[in-house]
Amino acid sequence: MGRGGSDLQRAGQSRHDPDGQQARPVVAEAMRAQLAAAIGTDLSAVSGSEIGDAIEYFASPNTALWIGAPLTWRFRPYGNDADRCMFDEDYSAAPKSGGLCAVLNQDLFNLAWARHGLKSMTKPAVTLTGYQEIRIRQFHQDLDAYLQA
């Protein structure tokens, strides 16, 4: 009779990886190899979290620079229409980004649905989370301070 999952965990093994490797470093190494081949650069000094995590830095109200993926997002106003914006790229035109293209394009498709959801709220404002959206909160505090100076 085979051992159950809890027996394997007690023995220090995984049902999915008998060598005991953790998924995160294995996935980061695969992503590092794929990105290095795509951009032709040695990425051995780049950490696993920089390669595998969705880390982005907001350089201005409408620009986000990604770390770990060769991406820059730029959203620009669409005239005076607060419900629309211009986005620079359709990621299906960037085949070297692999499967990430489909995810980014899916996110762009979902923006319209998110906007409709925001418009249908009965509350007067959006509720921001305490941790994940702290950058949004900080941006608005900085913007208010700048505009009042």
Does the model's pTM come out above 0.85? Answer: no
Q: Cα–Cα distance between 35 and 85 in angstroms, integer?
A: 30
Model confidence band, residue 86 (pLDDT cutoffs 50, 70, 90): confident
Contact residues for 51 (Cβ-Cβ < 8 A; gap 6+)? 28, 31, 32, 35, 43, 68
Q: Cα–Cα distance between 2 and 131 in angstroms, integer?
A: 43
More confident residue, 2 or 14: 14
Query: φ and ψ at 89, to 5 degrees?
Result: -130, 150
pLDDT score at 70:
67
Of the candidate ranges 7-16, 36-45, 69-78, 82-91, the one whose mean pLDDT is the lowest: 7-16
More confident residue, 13 or 99: 99
Q: Cα–Cα distance between 62 and 106 in angstroms, integer?
A: 20
* CA dihedral of 34, 35, 40, 45, whole degrees rounded to 10: -110
pLDDT score at 46:
84
